[in-house]
Structure 1
Amino acid sequence: MLRVFSVAYWAFIGITCVVFFAGALLVWLVTLPFDRRRVVLHLYSSAWASFYVYVNPLWRLEVTGRDRLPWHGSAVLVANHASLIDILVLFALFRPFKWVSKQEIFKVPLIGWNMRLNDYVPVVRGSGASVRKMMEHCDRLLAAGSPVLMFPEGRRTSDGSLLPFKNGAFELAVRHQVPVYPIAVHGTRAALPRDGMILREHVTARVEVLPPLNPSDYPDTESLRDAARQAIANALTHG
């Protein structure tokens, strides 16, 4: 039964993406002259992604600590990554951040096209040149006042354990002296593990925004990185 439901659900997403992308293109065209940071388009995209969470009868989503995130001003958001569903539930934060995502997603019809319209940031894993280009793109976004959201593990965990964090997000925070917001994502791996597209039984996912970390409170990038990872690890353990 879950296999049949999963096929129907992914087909529903594929069909409705056509309609949602048409709306995104219209929003982009209308707001382009006055919305340089594409905030309106991102909020539209957040509603688009969240729609697929809330219409799924197998999923419930809770978001806590959302009020900690700024509406205005630069910041670096970092979250753990256990499932493809993480992307959908993090959109439910409804804050004007820019995603950093692997370049393959930008090649997906409709969804990838919308990511380019939003000025999200592509990166090729393992490519030093791409990482440098990604960091430069993030520098421009932060300088313009846009928060960026990254998965510092670099990839989805295969067994649910929290992987080591890479330095990139924290180098950005130190360079721009902007706060780091650790975000713990609970329960998504139970809904859809890394391998496979078959949805599982009823799951309650939770996005927990933790208190911000100020780079000036830490002696170096590595200390800031480790503090963010520890905050997320503690939340996942006790949440």
Structure 2
Amino acid sequence: MKRAAQVVFATVWWLTFALVCAVMFVGATVCFMVTVPFDKRRVIQHLYSCFWAQIMFYLNPFWRLRITGRSKLPWRGKAVLVSNHESLGDILVLFGLYRPYKWVSKAAVFRSPFLGWNMHYNGYVPLRRGDKASIVEMSKRCHAWLDMDMPILMFPEGTRSPDAEVKAFKDGAFRLAVEANCPLYPIVLVGTSDTLPKHGLMVKIAAKCHVQVMDPVDPQQFKGDVAAFRDHVRELIIAEKARILAAR
């Protein structure tokens, strides 16, 4: 009986998601055409996308989202944001920050209908993992956005954790912050693994998600040591995640 209920819920969820994406993409296209001539940073487009993503939480009374520390994030200015990565649901909850930033995401996602097309509208940054030319281009585009006082958001694990444990971090986000000499904001996600699975389509009925924005870390204190910077931030995220889980 429980399995049948979950199958029904997942089916309804994905059908709703597809309908929402189709409808909201029409609005995204209108938003892009109207705002791109004067909104070079595409802030309005991004905030529209935030609302689009949050609809799946607004429609589902069994998915709860708590965000703390949002006010720490800048509306304008150079900054790098990094978060642990538990599931596809991370994208939905991080849009709930309702703050300007540019995603760095795998290039394949940009080819998906509606969502990928809207990512192009937003000027998000594609990346093909393991492709040196793509990595160089990604870094160039990230620096261009930072020079326009637009923060960058990256998942330093590179891919979703299969067991919700924080995996090893890659250097990219931390090297970017060092090169741009800008603050890096660690963001902790808890409970998002209870939304969308790493593999498969079986969406879970209930989820209790928490997003915690931590205080910014100044890369200058590490004197160019990217590895030390990276490991320090990872330990901060692990410790804060354990604290949140213990308090539940």
Q: How many Å separate the matches in 2 of 1:20 and 1:115?
A: 13
The one-letter amino acid of 1:122's match is P
Equivalence map 1:26-45=2 (5 Å): 26-45=30-49
2:85 to 76, 81, 95: 81
Deviation at 1:193, TM superposition (A): 2.7
Deviations along 1:24-82, whole A, 9 cap, x unmatched?
A: 11111111111000000000000100111221222000000000000110100000001
Contact 1:46 1:92 in 2 (8 A): yes
1:232 to 223, 234, 237: 237
Q: How many Å separate the matches in 1 of 2:49 and 2:171?
A: 28
Equivalence map 1:155-170=2 (5 Å): 155-170=159-174
Which 4+ runs in 1 deviate beyond 2 A? 190-193
Give SS of 2:178's match: helix
TM-score, scaled to structure 1:
0.97
Contact 2:186 2:233 in 1 (8 A): yes
**Match in the other structure for 1:210:** 214
Aligned residues: 239
Give SS of 2:74's match: coil
Identity of aligned residues (%): 46
1:175 and 2:143 matched:
no
Deviation at 1:206, TM superposition (A): 0.5
Q: How many Å separate the matches in 2 of 1:16 and 1:69?
A: 28
1:58 and 2:58 matched:
no
Contact 2:21 2:114 in 1 (8 A): yes
Equivalence map 1:1-239=2 (5 Å): 1-219=5-223, 220-239=225-244
Deviation at 1:190, TM superposition (A): 2.3
The one-letter amino acid of 2:129's match is R
Q: How many Å separate the matches in 1 of 2:126 and 2:14?
A: 24
Contact 1:68 1:209 in 2 (8 A): yes
Contact 2:78 2:182 in 1 (8 A): yes
Structure 2: gaps (5+ residues): none
Contact 2:187 2:211 in 1 (8 A): yes
Deviations along 1:62-116, whole A, 9 cap, x unmatched?
A: 0000000001101000000010000000000000100000111101111100000
Contact 2:194 2:208 in 1 (8 A): no
Give SS of 1:171's match: helix
Contact 1:83 1:156 in 2 (8 A): yes
Q: How many Å separate the matches in 2 of 1:217 and 1:47?
A: 37
Q: How many Å separate the matches in 2 of 1:202 and 1:98?
A: 29
The one-letter amino acid of 1:228's match is V
Deviations along 1:128-157, whole A, 9 cap, x unmatched?
A: 221111111101111111100000000001
Contact 1:54 1:60 in 2 (8 A): no
Q: How many Å separate the matches in 1 of 2:26 and 2:195?
A: 29
